[in-house]
């Protein structure tokens, strides 16, 4: 998860830097009085790299993804809850020997 | 609903706590969340936390929830003194609270004093006439005394007011099944499937109630069997084909339907595909999990096909 965070931050910094470089490039173009068609090649490469890093970090940084299939092995419903609202105490547990050591100290 | 990985986590925590590694509080929280009924373990580990003043003070406000949980578990394990002590502490902290009053009523129930428990609940109902848990406890009193028809009446009256309570529908369905009133049990399961359509056990139970209906009603038996087969099939879809009981149900239903329609004209013969597929899936399942029993299953399926 650490690596995910680091890579994500690096990707963000790359994107910010690419934006800054583009603004500087436009400023320079204004001085030279040319039209701004697209940012220079290295900025485009930096953008794509930043995009790849951010996507990888978004998938790797969070913890393990949970399964959504209802019939996958971990989502399989094993039992219904025991319906505790209607629980009765009239069961065979009454004949178990009493464990006298259970006491609430006060 | 307890899923497989939650159940595995619960068992792991339980063995960890039993063998002396910490995590008792986490175990108790998980038991509370999954509504599991493991009263002996809860009692043992809950008391170990409550009797240790350092651990108790670490809990802060959750201490009272733990007292309630331990009181419940103590009543289930017939340790009435422990329960009485816990309730005394709770009533000192929260005097006049309905929740504590409910616990006192529960203690009377656990001791077997049904009449006094009913009186206590009536008193609580005067103050809060719409308290769901107290109504449910009255049903439980009737059930514990063995008076199932009174329990059914009380539950029906309760469900007229609180129609969305699926625990109550489930309880009513189980009582009807034990009374062999399968038509009414099927109705209750229909309500459950309507409210929670993705829970396989309800489909399975509905299929079984419909299938058992054939035992009592021979007229219209074919429709009930077809309903049963449909719901066994839906259980198979929901569980991805892993539910063995549903596979057996489909096989048996198809064979029974074929037996019933032998005399009539055989226009609808689409069922045979489903039956052979289910038989194949069953054999594959047994081959993976219990290969020693596979010959038994194969011979049984062959017998059924020959006789039908």
pLDDT at B39: 86
Q: What interface predicted TM-score (ipTM) does this complex get?
A: 0.70
Q: In this complex, do B78 and A82 lie within 8 Å of one another by their Cβ atoms?
A: no
> Which of B79, B137, B242 has the CB atom closest to A76's CB atom?
B242
Residue-level pLDDT at B152 = 93
> Which phi and psi (to 5°) does residue B112 adopt?
95, 5
Per the CB < 8 Å rule, is A70 touching B171? no
The per-residue pLDDT for A93 is 78
Q: pLDDT grade, residue B269 (50/70/90)?
A: low
- Tens of pLDDT, residues A32-77: 877 777 778 888 888 899 999 999 888 887 777 777 777 777 777 7
Of A74, A84, A90, the CB nearest to B37: A84
Q: How far is CA A54 from CA A15, A60, B229, in A?
A: 9, 10, 51
CA distances from B297 to A72, B55, B116, B251 (A): 26, 55, 54, 12
Work out whether strand B2-3 and strand A77-79 pair parallel, antiparallel, or are unpaired: antiparallel
Contact B4 A80 (CB under 8 A): no
Average pLDDT, chain A: 82
Q: Among all residues of chain B, which has the CA nearest to that of A71? A: B239
Contact A78 B51 (CB under 8 A): no
Give residues with Cβ within 8 angstroms of A58, minimum separation 6.
Answer: A8
On the question of pLDDT at B153 being above 90, the answer is yes
**Per-residue pLDDT at B95:** 87
Q: How many CB atoms lie within 10 A of CB B249?
A: 23
CB pair distance less than 8 Å for B2 and A84: no
- Going by pLDDT thresholds of 50, 70 and 90, the confidence category of residue B150 is very high
Q: Under DSSP, is residue B266 helix (H, G, I), strand (E, B) or coil?
A: coil
Average pLDDT, chain B: 85
- pLDDT surpassing 90 at residue B156: yes
pLDDT exceeding 90 applies to what percent of chain B?
12
CA of A74 vs chain B CAs: smallest distance (Å): 5
């Amino acid at each position: 998860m650490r690596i995910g965070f680091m890579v994500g931050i690096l990707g963000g910094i790359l994107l910010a830097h690419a934006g800054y470089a583009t603004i500087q490039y436009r400023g320079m173009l204004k001085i030279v009085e040319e039209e701004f068609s697209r940012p220079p090649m290295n900025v485009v490469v930096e953008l794509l790299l930043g995009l790849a890093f951010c996507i990888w970090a978004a998938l790797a940084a969070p913890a393990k993804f949970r399964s959504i299939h209802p019939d996958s092995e971990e989502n399989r419903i094993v039992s219904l809850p025991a319906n505790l609202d209607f629980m009765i105490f009239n069961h065979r547990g009454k004949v178990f020997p009493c464990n006298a050591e259970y006491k609430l100290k006060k | 609903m307890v899923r497989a990985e939650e159940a595995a986590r619960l068992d792991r925590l339980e063995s960890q706590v039993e063998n002396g590694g910490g995590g008792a509080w986490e175990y108790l929280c998980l038991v509370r969340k999954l509504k599991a009924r493991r009263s002996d373990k809860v009692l043992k580990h809950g008391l170990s936390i409550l009797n240790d003043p350092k651990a108790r003070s670490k809990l802060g406000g959750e201490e009272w929830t733990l007292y309630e949980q331990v009181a419940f578990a103590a009543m289930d394990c017939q340790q009435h003194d422990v329960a009485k002590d816990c309730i005394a502490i709770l009533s000192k902290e929260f005097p006049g609270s309905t929740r504590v009053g409910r616990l006192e009523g529960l203690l009377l129930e656990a001791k077997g004093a049904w009449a006094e428990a009913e009186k206590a609940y009536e008193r609580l109902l005067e103050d809060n006439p719409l308290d769901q848990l107290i109504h449910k406890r009255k049903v439980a009193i009737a059930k514990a005394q063995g008076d199932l028809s009174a329990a059914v009446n009380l539950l029906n009256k309760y469900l007229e007011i609180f129609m969305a309570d699926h625990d109550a529908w489930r309880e009513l369905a189980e009582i009807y099944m034990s009374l062999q009133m399968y038509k009414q049990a099927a109705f209750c399961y229909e309500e459950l499937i309507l409210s929670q359509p993705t829970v396989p056990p309800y489909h399975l139970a509905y299929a079984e109630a419909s299938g058992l209906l054939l035992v009592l009603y021979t007229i219209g038996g074919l429709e009930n069997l077809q309903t049963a087969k449909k719901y066994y099939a839906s259980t198979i879809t929901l569980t991805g084909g892993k539910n063995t009981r549903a596979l057996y149900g489909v096989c048996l239903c198809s064979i029974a339907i074929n037996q019933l329609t032998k005399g009539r004209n055989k226009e609808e013969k689409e069922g045979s595909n489903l039956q052979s597929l289910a038989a194949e899936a069953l054999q594959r399942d047994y081959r993976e999990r219990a290969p020693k029993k596979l010959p038994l299953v194969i011979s049984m399926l062959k017998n059924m096909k020959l006789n039908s």
